[in-house]
Amino acid sequence: MQAVGATGDRVAFDTLVRRWDRRIFVFLAKAGGDPEAAADMRQDVFLRVWKYAASYDDTYAFSTWLYRIAHNVLHTWRAKSNGHRTYPLDSRDEDREAPGIYRPDESAITSEIDSRVRQAIDGFCVDDRELLLMRLQGELPYREIGEVLGIPETTAKSRTYKLMNQLREQLADVHAAARSSR
């Protein structure tokens, strides 16, 4: 990674952007709640990656460094917008995969579950939503989440556990309905 900024290796940078662009955009859109702003924030993230590539320490995971930049950009955006602009997560999120082959009743249940999960996550404060998205969507290990957020790994674990329990409680009726339809 150091070679990208130090030598201006455009090919390496383009490869990096192709690999991480979608994940960073989805993270910013969901954590910030504003897909339009996420597009601008994503550009800022990759500009900072280019600019500060020489500061990357390869003894740490690249994903930690990248998500830390995204986290900082997100918090700067929130401060500028006073954190008041949030839009609910939408079923048209860009990270949606093509639908699998489901029976019609399974498709309806899956759609209901997706909708309820989005509503539940949207109800969390922005910091909790960001933590959950790093874990669930970004699949970052707790150690990396702690490094990104500047909290101990054990705090990242306990906060995630607490949030997942809250999700379970909020979605208990959906889970029961899905089980009874099998």
User: Residue 86 has what pLDDT?
Assistant: 47
Does residue 97 form part of some domain?
Answer: no
What CA–CA distance (Å, rounded) separates 36 from 55? 29
Per-residue pLDDT tens digits of the chain, which is 182 residues long: 544 544 558 888 899 999 999 999 999 988 888 888 999 999 999 999 999 988 888 888 899 999 999 999 999 998 887 654 444 444 344 444 433 434 445 555 566 667 777 788 888 888 888 898 888 887 889 999 999 999 999 999 999 999 999 988 888 876 666 666 65
Domain span at residue 75?
A: 2-80
Residues 64, 121 within the same domain: no
Which of 46, 80, 114 delimits the end of a domain? 80
User: Residue 89 has what pLDDT?
Assistant: 47
Residue with tokens 């109800």: 123
104 Cβ contact partners less than 8 Å away, ≥ 6 residues apart: none
Number of domains in the chain: 2
Rounded to 5°, the CA angle 66-71-76 comes to 130
User: Residue 30 has what pLDDT?
Assistant: 87
Residues 76, 110 within the same domain: no
Does residue 53 form part of some domain?
Answer: yes
Strands (E), the chain: none
Residue with tokens 């500060």: 52
Residues 9, 72 within the same domain: yes
Residues 114, 150 within the same domain: yes
Handedness of CA 102, 103, 104, 105 (dihedral sign): negative
Is 74:32 a contact under the CB 8 Å cutoff? yes
What CA–CA distance (Å, rounded) separates 139 from 166? 19
User: Residue 179 has what pLDDT?
Assistant: 63
Q: Which domain CATH number covers 72?
A: 1.10.1740.10
Residues 6, 76 within the same domain: yes
User: Residue 122 has what pLDDT?
Assistant: 80
Which of 80, 115, 140 delimits the end of a domain? 80
What CA–CA distance (Å, rounded) separates 24 from 130? 12
What CA–CA distance (Å, rounded) separates 157 from 109? 30
User: Residue 163 has what pLDDT?
Assistant: 92
Does residue 93 form part of some domain?
Answer: no
Q: Which domain CATH number covers 166?
A: 1.10.10.10
User: Residue 18 has what pLDDT?
Assistant: 93
Is 97:166 a contact under the CB 8 Å cutoff? no
Residues 121, 75 within the same domain: no
What CA–CA distance (Å, rounded) separates 28 from 87? 12
What CA–CA distance (Å, rounded) separates 47 from 166? 37
- What pTM did the predictor assign? 0.68
Residues 173, 127 within the same domain: yes
